[in-house]
Structure 1
């Protein structure tokens, strides 16, 4: 019989591992012995309590913990978005607003700025200018209306850090294309104003005369009710300056026909 000789000890080990599965047999015998020992031990505890956690259970626990973490994160995100939205809409207006000019032909004109046509106006002001005069000005060219007011120093509200917002100022000096036009007063949107706004309806842009007489403060005997509605771009310069630029339809770049500036000095 030919003897198998190894050139070095490493060859001997490799040959024995290749042809004799020692490791596999020993591991199988050890596993069998350990299982016999476990079966022979007395069971003093509840098997449900002593049973090791399976891989499936670990996965379920991991998934539930991730769902709980996601729910907490979503809750925090929603609360942050809600707070941010409340801060942004504290004045009731965003960057794009609905502007409505209306008034009896021989009465005073009013401006109302709303976030949406069916929402309460965040800013409603009555000018001393008659509606017919302003319509003629707009027909002749560009109209720039500036509303100015003074800062009231030493007010109790300012001492407490709760000063009026710019849109909450009650009285304004009015200038139309550089000419002084008396004073404007801030108004609340009452039932008469709502009749006009509701009569115009969801029109986003247009001008005309209401088909039925709609009473407003000042009486319905001041002529026909005229109105003009358009989209305005609102630009906030600071807490003491804002501007409203009428957006032209169809992308016309000729400049806004009507601009309104609010300034507090």
Structure 2
């Protein structure tokens, strides 16, 4: 908690950016920091969890095996199969599985003491994930339809030709500019906002409870602390929901590229 002449100073966004572990290219303000470390850690955690869960596969699964199979089944059936359909979903299950659990674990880091920072509360990782998805679905469309895909993506079927001069620029902006930006910023903004709200409530409660000369402020601090706990669980829900939304939108974009000629 930071104070200024006995007053309360709220936490700022800069406080979520910890010093880099291995700084390099200082003039560019970049290096190997906590954010990158947690991204690597998430891959290790996901790998170890699923490999440990299926090490002794059984027709009567253990709790750990059941949890792993349920997670896989959720991505396979709810995201891949429901969106991409019976014909196309199977080959994309590993990709969607990796995206969902990678985003989920990196989001959940924000709810773990000491770590306490969602990886995607920073714009860089969110932009990178959205870029991977962006070039993937464009590549799928081009692979299937060739250069004609770009026409299919921006010229809806059945639209009068008189409307096309107005509609085509809007479709280009919507599909190839707005879509990847909103895909990344939605994730980053929700994670950052939730993290900042929890930080603000926690530091505010600490400040109020620490005011020994005011019983009213102490009582208010206890109320804020109760609200902080509620916000913590709300943020936890949003972490899971945003992983689902990110993977779901990925599946929708892939489905749009695969069946572009049907639109």
Question: TM-score normalised to the size of structure 1?
Answer: 0.17
- With structure 2 as the length reference, what TM-score do the two structures score? 0.17
Pick the structure with greater CA Rg. Answer: 1
Q: As a proportion of its length, which structure holds more strand?
A: 1
Relative to its length, the structure with more helix (as a share) is: 2
